[in-house]
Chain A
Amino acid sequence: MYTVADLRKGLKITIDGDPYIVTFFEFSKPGKGQALYRTKMRNMINGTSLDRTYRSGETFEPAHLEERTMQYLYKEDTNYCFMDNQSYEQISISEDAIGDAKNFLIDNLEVDVLMFQEKPIGVTTPNFVNLRVVKTDPWIKGDTTGSDSKPATVETGYVLRVPPFIEEGELITIDTRTGEYSTRVKG
């Protein structure tokens, strides 16, 4: 159990059954008035934010979160199937909980799965993944009128902008934090 004295940025607490992370915290006390603890929090499941002001004496349930390393296996309808690297247990995660990570999931990719009360609520991919370009316009050498990037579709179906010299079938590195092209993988 946390008290208001434990409140700080980054603290994870449970409110109405959902895990929240404190993103802003300020101790306030109007002259001769009571101490107030102002917070902004983000719901770790759906990302919505919440402003709450607490008074002395209020308490909070910690949000027990756990990160597990898992391997991506396959997609089934709108669910993604993973295997826990330690227990070999297989779990299925909905597209909503996967978020943008779905753009970078290739077979056998190792990811960190954030668990709250035995439920997966988020997936973190490695910062860089290599994906193969399956569709992009050919590069017309000598074309100086074109722009300096073009759209390309990678094997997961994700579409991003790549430099004009990238050809279909090539392997590229993508920064999963921004979703942007990083470099071409030679060889």
Chain B
Amino acid sequence: MNGIRRFPNRHNSLRARAKIVNAVRSFFEKNGFLEVDTPQRIPVPIPESHIDVMPSGSWVLHPSPEICMKRLLADGLERIFQICHCWRDGERGSLHLPEFSMLEWYRAHADYFALMDDCEGLVRAAAAAVGKKYEVGWNGRVVGLDGPWERLTVRDAFSRFGEMTAEEALEQNLFDEIMVCSIEPMLGWERPTFLLEYPAQRGSLARLKAGDPCVAERFELYIGGLELANAYSELIDPEEQRYRFIQEQGFRRNSSKPVYPLPEKFLQELSGMPPSAGIAFGIDRLVMLLLGASSIDEAVAFTPEEL
């Protein structure tokens, strides 16, 4: 048995990955972003209902660099990005690794629409780096990358592809099931899709939309049914943020999941953070997409099972 060489073209995958990561770095450098490197082992995570962290001694491995990057924004940096490993316990599937590579970037004095423009430029630059200028082949189909990308609200997506409205799905506790089984597979096929305006309770760190507080200024990017990124106009009200964290903690307590103390330093410094927008983008999934790979395993040097 030769488990190491599971994918015969692994060398090619790793070369493509390196080119993509280089293209990502130069994209942000060209756009005036500072690359930062924040600690990956932190005392407490952001309380999130459905993200389970991995302990590291009495601290945890970060599930995202969000806390530290926002503290840098509060400290006055205005455009920052980071490429780092993140850990999420129990997440393993053809699109998930418990240790994965995340790209996050933040813009002060901007809202989430600015991040949509960044996404378009970033994916085109990464695609060009591996010789795919205008389109990518994915799951037997071709997705065009040029022209403006689709912007679809969650409400419209449910009425177009779901078996019920988004409100009914939330009431019946079927929001995630319908999203995964009926909506996500339909998104981003002609061109990439920004799915935006999530129900307020689905954006714990997002600002609510002015004039429509039922929805949060949050979007996810889909290309060929593949979810690549999650973005917000950031919530910067410390009291509101604390209240939402306590709700998330309550959910965790009710589901018998570990509950950590609140990230107090982050909450203290949040009052100093300017209006900002931030996004978490899966690097392994971007590599998958540009390789035309059906499994995230093909995008990384080793899977946990191979270690």
Contacts and interface: CB of A to CB of B under 8 A. Distances in A.
Given A5-B90, A27-B91, A27-B92, A35 B50 contact: yes
B171 interface: no
B94 A29 contact: no
Contacts of B180: 28-30, 33, 36, 38, 53
A30 B227 contact: yes
A29 B49 contact: no
A53 B91 contact: no
B176 A36 contact: yes
Contact of B50 (A5, A26, A29, A38): A29
A53 B305 CA distance: 25
A27 B203 CA distance: 22
A35 B91 contact: yes
A23 to B, nearest CB: 16
B204 A32 contact: yes
A32 B244 CA distance: 14
B237 interface: no
Given A26-B94, A38-B181, A57-B255, A33 B175 contact: yes
Interface string B74-115: 000000000000000011111110000000000000000000
Contact of B48 (A30, A32, A35): A32
B163 to A, nearest CB: 13
B118 interface: no
Contacts of B203: 32
Contact of B227 (A27, A31, A34, A35): A31
A29 B91 contact: yes
Interface string A54-66: 0011000000000
A49 to B, nearest CB: 16
Given A53-B181, A57-B255, A33 B176 contact: yes
A36 B90 CA distance: 11
Contacts of A36: 176-177, 180
A31 B227 CA distance: 8
Interface in B177-212: 177, 179-181, 184, 202-204
Contacts of A31: 220, 227, 230
Nearest to A31: B230
Contacts of B230: 31-32
Interface core residue of A32, A33, A35, A57 (most chain B CB under 10 Å): A32
A53 B174 CA distance: 11
B230 to A, nearest CB: 4
Interface residues of B, number: 25
Nearest to A28: B180
Contacts of B95: 27-28
Interface in B4-54: 48-51
A33 B50 contact: yes
Interface string B134-177: 00000000000000000000000000000000000000000111
A118 to B, nearest CB: 36
Interface in A157-178: none
Contacts of A34: 49-50, 176
Contact of B176 (A5, A27, A30): A30
Contacts of A30: 176, 179-180, 184, 227
Given A27-B92, A31-B230, A32-B203, A53 B255 contact: no
Contacts of A56: 90, 255
A101 B70 CA distance: 67
B192 to A, nearest CB: 15
Contacts of A57: 255
24 contacts: A5-B90, A27-B91, A27-B92, A28-B95, A28-B180, A29-B91, A29-B93, A29-B180, A30-B176, A30-B179, A30-B184, A30-B227, A31-B220, A31-B227, A31-B230, A32-B48, A32-B50, A33-B176, A34-B50, A35-B90, A36-B177, A38-B180, A38-B181, A57-B255
Given A31-B230, A35-B50, 14 more contacts: A5-B90, A27-B92, A27-B95, A28-B180, A29-B50, A32-B203, A32-B230, A33-B50, A33-B179, A33-B202, A34-B49, A35-B91, A56-B255, A57-B255
